[in-house]
Structure 1
Amino acid sequence: MSSTPAAPSAAPANPRSRVLMASLVGTTIEFYDFYVYATAAVLVFPHLFFPEGNDTVALLSSFAVFGAAMVARPAGAIFFGHLGDRSGRKVTLVAALLTMGIATFLIGLLPTYAMVGWLAPFLLVVMRLAQGFAIGGEWSGAALVATENAPQGKRAWYGTFPQLGAPLGFILANGLFLLIAVIMPSDDPSRPSDTFLEWGWRIPFLFSAVMVIIGLYIRLKLVESSAFSKTVETGKVQRLPLASVVRSNGRELVLGTFFMLATYVLFYLMTTFSLSYGRAPQDAELSGLGYSYNTFVLMMIGGVVFFGAFTMISGPMADRFGRRRSLLVITAAIMIFGLLWVPLLDGGLVMLWLILGFTLMGLTFGPMGALLPELFPTNVRYTGSGISYNVSSILGAAVAPFIAVWLWTLGDGSPFWVGVYLSSMAVLTFVALLLGKETREVDIEH
């Protein structure tokens, strides 16, 4: 059953610069907010938001809260997907950005466990759920703005711009944390300074308000894409996009979810888990690489530069060779990379490990900005791509840091089983890609 909103008299085109900036700036802010939390989950929250005691339990508790956001993401995908497929991309993107920005800002104002006891982690979970709910609607909207406004033959290249928000957000978030850590140095490389823990950690969360204002200014200038405008004009807007996409595109929902699985696992292992493993002392209960926070974050930022560069390279590759063919090769490389963790790390090739991981991350993440939207027709595209992207976040990202710490413990400090876990998830993605079809020639207007 469909309803027909009043059709616009015309659908003015968005300038290319506005399309690219709107998709890039929004996801940069969203990923900045997410990375700020991810960094604090390792560096700050185990010390401030949970009772003192076992450090491993505190870290796992912090990661559990981190994963709570992933559980909220499918709900956000359904809510914002419904709004985006019914009312348009623009209003939905503005709403998602505001929700994310407010939640992140409020985390910077939360009381700690020492102040209010168990109310502190409870409020942290609430804000984290709000973050996840918001990003559930952000990515798919940004990807649609990019791909629905892309010229013929350049959809994958345009689709890399919202993906580029991930490395840029990482550099901004970790760069700001690093600057604060330099200004507020600690005598103990495994623990932030008292000043940092008292109030310095709040600065990156509060700073998000400035970025949100910039993002809103750019997004409010957007007009709807011709694809969505044609859907309105022809009366094809669905009254219940969720029911429609499940009924008509159930296979695409499942395949899209598994297309993203290896990407998500690699993503969070190379960012959240690696920060824990890199900083853990070599003689600790969970032995790691023993780097100081400042040193390892600088190394990670160096790796993320490759993430950004190869994200941009992946778009033209996918436009030329096809999404499926490109991703099959890249996913096979991720399988191999997971089995090379121990040889690389035991051989002291930590920087090479980071570069390889982040390079593969860029190559696999970039084409998803076009691939997932291309799986679905315009009238359910926001809902369909959002559900696939965010359900995969539960299977991949929500549990990845938690499973990684458990496997790290199982291996007595060795990352061997963590690498095997990555390779296993890549096998599932590889099978899904084999079962899927090429989408490069799909007509995005329908």
Structure 2
Amino acid sequence: MVGTSIEFFDFYIYATAAVLVFPTLFFPAGDDTAALLSSFATFGLAFVARPIGSILFGHFGDRVGRKATLVGSLLTMGIATFVIGLLPTFDSVGYLAPALLALMRFCQGLGLGGEWSGAALLATETAEKGKRAWAAMWPQLGAPIGFFFANGTFLLLMVGLDFDAKNAATNHAFLTWGWRVPFLASAIMVIVGLYVRLKLTETPVFARAVEEGKKVKAPVAEVVKTSWRPLIAGTFIMLATYTLFYIVTTWTVSYGTGKVADATGPKLSISYVDFLTLQLVAVLFFALCVPIAGWLADRYGRRSVLLVITTAIVIFGLCFGWLLNPSSVTQGSMLFFLILGMGLMGLTFGPMSAILPELFPTNVRYTGSGIAYNVSSILGAAVAPFIATWLVADYGVFWVGVYLAIAGVLTLIALWSVKETRTLDLTEV
């Protein structure tokens, strides 16, 4: 949990900066929407890198072990995040600035691509019988914890430096050095994470596989050859989760803080400070629902719980036109929307670190679960803010919800295609 919290903190400070800072500092001045879309495009690069990271780290995770690979993924993420805090802006080096930003974002994706599977496997492969989903939900808590501290850090800086994102000059302290603080400070957190991870021992399930000579030379080729069905199913099982989260977090920041036109004129336009405060309140419901989902998944099964929650996500998506109507939405109704979205996110995210590893045998579990989880990040998370920004600009907010509902339906189909995995023995699956 400590390690994943640090990794997700690093990942999410970029997501916040992609709306607050990068369009202004790292892209040429001009069309604000074009700059925002360009920033979202570099934001999405990490999700392209994540499957590559899952293949790279998965190879060593299934060949060398879970512990060493987790240390490597944490270092990759930490170094890339620290370097972002040192990058020159567009005014200093021109187009080299967004190029370097994109490169570091790609490296962040590599690190997180190897992180999730290792953390999930460390938990599931050491869990007590009948409590595997409960054990597996602990690394999942890293996501809301990382998100809370990422946005909380930016909120404190904005308040402390009296930064108004809509009216501040480009030489404001927040834009010149303040935004760099979370990226540079992450180095301290990475050192703590490394200390924790170097104290870990290898999982007994992997150790037994080594003793029995079950390691494979090429985990990627083996997983494609023997486990391509769960690879596809796992990818789409994660789709609704990813789409939901990055619509409710990254896209809603730009929607909630911008002026959205309706028949009576521009509406909405919540301040960045107020909106980040709303998100910090809502993310507590995300964190609360993760352990609830872990308990439910052990009690009633992963598949049954996820079928119910995904159906609720589809219904939630179809209510966007009402919940986010620009002519009537207020800070109170926006908070209600965020709490609903974050609560559903916790319920769907909690069992993922149990069901995805359970789909694969031990000798390719790291690679298989990692590829499924991270390929889904391209189909869901990478494009979600970009597509949602385009849909709301051209067709209205209702169609953003339809987009989420379609992702939910695809996840429901994937869930129907797999069997319940709650009672499987991980050494024999």
TM range (shorter): over 0.9
Q: Which amino acid aligns with 1:319?
A: D
Deviation at 1:408, TM superposition (A): 1.1
Partner of 2:179: 201
CA offsets, 1:13-72, max 9 Å, x none?
xxxxxxxxxxx0111111101110000000000000000000000000000000011101
Partner of 1:432: 414
Partner of 2:382: 398
Unmatched 5+ stretches in structure 1 = 1-23
CA RMSD of aligned residues (A): 1.4
Please say if 1:289 is aligned against 2:271.
no
Aligned with residue 394 of structure 2, among 410, 415, 424? 410
CA distance in 2, matches of 1:281, 1:397: 24
Q: Which amino acid aligns with 1:203?
A: V
CA distance in 1, matches of 2:392, 2:167: 18
Partner of 2:213: 235
Q: Which amino acid aligns with 2:406?
A: S
Output aligned runs, 1:346-385, within 5 Å. Answer: 346=325, 347-348=328-329, 349-385=333-369
Q: Given that residues 136 and 353 in structure 2 are in contact (C-alpha distance below 8 angstroms), is that contact kept between their aligned partners in structure 1?
A: yes
Q: Which amino acid aligns with 2:190?
A: V
Deviation at 1:345, TM superposition (A): 2.4
Q: Which amino acid aligns with 2:74?
A: L
Aligned with residue 163 of structure 1, among 109, 132, 140? 140
Output aligned runs, 1:4-23, within 5 Å. Answer: none
Residues 190 and 335 of structure 1: CA distance in aligned 2, closer, same or farther (over 3 Å): farther
Please say if 1:335 is aligned against 2:314.
yes
Q: Given that residues 180 and 200 in structure 1 are in contact (C-alpha distance below 8 angstroms), is that contact kept between their aligned partners in structure 2?
A: yes
CA distance in 2, matches of 1:40, 1:165: 20
CA distance in 2, matches of 1:191, 1:264: 33
Residues 189 and 58 of structure 1: CA distance in aligned 2, closer, same or farther (over 3 Å): closer
Please say if 1:389 is aligned against 2:367.
no
Deviation at 1:191, TM superposition (A): 5.3
Partner of 1:154: 131
CA distance in 2, matches of 1:160, 1:80: 21
Q: Which amino acid aligns with 2:285?
A: F
Aligned to 2:141, what secondary structure does the other structure show? Answer: helix
Q: Which amino acid aligns with 2:405?
A: S
Q: Which amino acid aligns with 1:314?
A: A
Please say if 1:222 is aligned against 2:196.
no
Aligned with residue 63 of structure 2, among 81, 86, 89? 86
CA offsets, 1:247-302, max 9 Å, x none?
11000000000000000000100110011111113469x96621001101110111
Partner of 1:310: 289
Partner of 2:91: 114
After the TM superposition, list the runs of 4 or more consecutive aligned residues in structure 1 that deviate by more than 2 angstroms: 186-193, 281-284, 286-289, 345-348
Q: Given that residues 20 and 165 in structure 2 are in contact (C-alpha distance below 8 angstroms), is that contact kept between their aligned partners in structure 1?
A: no
**Identity across the alignment (%):** 61
Partner of 1:299: 278
Unmatched 5+ stretches in structure 2 = none
Q: Given that residues 190 and 292 in structure 1 are in contact (C-alpha distance below 8 angstroms), is that contact kept between their aligned partners in structure 2?
A: no
Q: Which amino acid aligns with 1:445?
A: T
Deviation at 1:186, TM superposition (A): 3.0
**TM-score, scaled to structure 1:** 0.92
Deviation at 1:428, TM superposition (A): 0.3
Please say if 1:270 is aligned against 2:248.
yes
CA distance in 2, matches of 1:59, 1:396: 19
Q: Which amino acid aligns with 2:229?
A: R
Partner of 2:191: 213
CA distance in 2, matches of 1:288, 1:142: 43
Aligned residue pairs: how many? 420
